[in-house]
Amino acid sequence: ASLSRRSPNPVLRQNPEALDEWVLRRMAEDASIGPDVRGVRKVRRLWDLARLPDFRKAGHDGHARLVLGLADTLADPDARLGDAGMEKRLEALSATRGDIPHIQQRLAAIRTWTYAAHRDDWLENPALWREKTREIEDRLSDALHQALTARFVDKRTTALLAGLSKEDALVSEIGTEGEVTVEGHVVGRLVGLKFEPASSARTLEGRAVRNAASQALRPILAARLAAIAQAKGGLLDFTDGGGIRYSSELVARLSKGSDWLRPQVELMGGDEAEPAQREAARAAIADWVTRQIATRLPTHTRLLKPENAAGLEGLARGIAFRVKESGAAIDLRGDDPGHRLSKEQRDALRTMGIRAGRVAAHAPDAQKPAAQQLIAILRTLFDDDPCQAAPVGAGSFEVGEGWTDGTLAANGYLRFGKRAVRADLAERLGWEISRRRKEAGKNQFELPAELASIVSCPGDDFPAVLKGFGLVPAQKDAETGAPTLWRYAARARPEEASQKARRGRPSAAGAGNTRPGGRKARGGHGKSKPGSRQGTRPEDKQPDPDSPFAALAVLIEPDDKPEKKRKPRKRRRKTGGNGGKGPGFVYRPFL
């Protein structure tokens, strides 16, 4: 009655009648059991019987009949099931013959008695029946397993299971396409060092296939790893994604190292093999990678050795370091070192494999197709950013999206407008421009359209390429507007530009003959006499950028010493800025 009593708390709701509660009510209503239930011990005994799990899934009525049968004997708390009664009940359940449904029913029923055997207050000899019910349950489980195997498992799985139970090693083979056979049955495929099982299901079949393959793969992997460790270079090659193939199958990959020229090597698969076998193969691949870098990038390999780099000094050493870090080339158009390298420094760089000119410094061996492929792989790996590869053999190409200056430098190209020009060809075109200028004998000179063939550039894009050398049109065709003469653009310093801006600023009326403080200059009416001193100092004459001698300005060393201040003369006002002495104009045309 207390189980059906509602809670006074309105928040709490009564659960639907559960199986144990329903069975308890049936026993209480039974005429042969209910009237005799008096006292706490008897109620507790009935409640324990009602809580017997329904292992058979027989439903309320079927389970109630089983419990009522037990209650006929066990309703009294002092009663026990005897050995003879247990023997009779278990005799029919111990049979292992029959089909799958019958075995499943007997297995569920024996679990009910296994539960009863673990209640010391239900049986006369619980320890004995715990052991017997466990033995019967194990036999029924094995019988069910065999029945399921006979129905659902194919001959391959049966053969593999039989082979795994034997002490002898399984007979395994590998075919020409990588298929692995065990005891005559295909269990999967070996791709490189990775095994792809024929069945990945979590079933008896899948487990049998994987276990058989794992046992059979050890000698196969050992043989393949030994072959990789002794492989000649021709059997190994790179993939564009940083992988390494052996006999056209992926077996390893590159990983980021301490330097972009020092990558690490990791095997892909082969975990079933011995660690020593895997390490021998990995070390052999790592040695091959090192040799490939040395073969394809000899200049970079030389610069990696401190004793070689020690032969370079000053600017030459810095340029060599920049070339090594960039990949193939660096742009010197905006750098003073390109103009100040001595002949000895250029010769030292040439000895190391670097050509340094006025436009670029580059490593010629790094611009070959094989070197470019390796640089793209290594830079992508180290920078964690895809490094595009330039078109093979292109003297120049149109720069699209994704091409940064760093990516161009890694490929050995420089940006000229909307085109990328190979560094060595840009240097060659630069010297050709210099020669044409010298032959002209003046700052304005002609550059024929045929020069575009040096850098494999279309004629329409060639003017933009020339502007990349610091050239501007000096004269254009009146009809077509195409440049006919070129000259170098003058490059003034910011201080000069600000001074010119101040000098070109329009003045108010009378400002030219008025001194600070509002006093008028001598000479009356704002007019100065010929030869008389003006209120301001004469302007410093600036060099003419179109002068034939402007090319000599590059030979002038900048004066790093601070300029001494002069004391102002009497009766002369100080000029603004730095006393009227602006920094010297430095013009650096391409020579």
DSSP conformation class of 554: G
In the chain, what percentage of residues exceed pLDDT 90? 33
**Does residue 87 surpass a pLDDT of 70?**
yes
pLDDT of residue 3: 64
Give the model's confidence band at 496: pLDDT under 50 very low, under 70 low, under 90 confident, else very high: very low
Q: Of 428, 412, 409, give the one whose Cα is nearest residue 469.
A: 428
**Does residue 576 surpass a pLDDT of 50?**
no
Rounded to an integer, the average pLDDT of 121-135 is 87
Helices (H), 327-449: 337-340, 343-352, 369-383, 405-410, 423-440
Rounded to an integer, the average pLDDT of 518-531 is 46
The answer to whether 213 and 180 are in contact (CB under 8 A) is yes
pLDDT of residue 50: 80
The secondary structure of 163-179 as a DSSP string is: HHHSSSPP-EEE-TTSE
pLDDT of residue 325: 93
Q: Structural domain boundaries of the chain?
A: 19-152, 155-296, 310-489, 543-591
Rounded to an integer, the average pLDDT of 40-68 is 81
Q: How much helix, strand and coil, in percent to the nearest 5, is found in the chain?
A: 45, 15, 40
Contacts of residue 40, defined as CB under 8 A and 6 or more positions apart, other chains included, come to none
More confident residue, 460 or 173: 460
pLDDT of residue 367: 92
More confident residue, 452 or 525: 452
Q: Of 509, 474, 475, 501, give the one whose Cα is nearest residue 488.
A: 474
pLDDT of residue 67: 81
**Residue 35 burial class via C-beta count within 10 angstroms: exposed 0-12, middle 13-18, buried 19 and up:** exposed
Rounded to an integer, the average pLDDT of 238-254 is 93
pLDDT of residue 539: 55
* C-alpha torsion 464→467→469→471, nearest 10: 150
pLDDT of residue 119: 87
Give the model's confidence band at 268: pLDDT under 50 very low, under 70 low, under 90 confident, else very high: very high
pLDDT of residue 171: 56
Distance CA 224, CA 221 (A): 5
The answer to whether 293 and 374 are in contact (CB under 8 A) is yes
Rounded to an integer, the average pLDDT of 125-137 is 88
pLDDT of residue 582: 41
Distance CA 306, CA 397 (A): 36
pLDDT of residue 532: 46
pLDDT of residue 586: 42
Compute the Cα dihedral for 433, 439, 441, 444 and give only its sign: negative
DSSP conformation class of 445: B
Distance CA 412, CA 425 (A): 10
Give the model's confidence band at 577: pLDDT under 50 very low, under 70 low, under 90 confident, else very high: very low
pLDDT of residue 355: 95
Across all residues in the chain, what is the average pLDDT? Answer: 78
Residue with tokens 């093979």, as numbered in its chain: 392
Give the model's confidence band at 501: pLDDT under 50 very low, under 70 low, under 90 confident, else very high: very low
Distance CA 532, CA 522 (A): 9
Q: Which of 90-94, 297-301, 517-521 has the highest mean pLDDT?
A: 297-301
Give the model's confidence band at 494: pLDDT under 50 very low, under 70 low, under 90 confident, else very high: very low
pLDDT of residue 418: 92
Rounded to an integer, the average pLDDT of 356-385 is 93
Rounded to an integer, the average pLDDT of 423-442 is 94
Rounded to an integer, the average pLDDT of 387-416 is 92
**Does residue 519 surpass a pLDDT of 70?**
no
pLDDT of residue 307: 85
Rounded to an integer, the average pLDDT of 379-393 is 89
**Does residue 353 surpass a pLDDT of 80?**
yes
Distance CA 456, CA 276 (A): 54
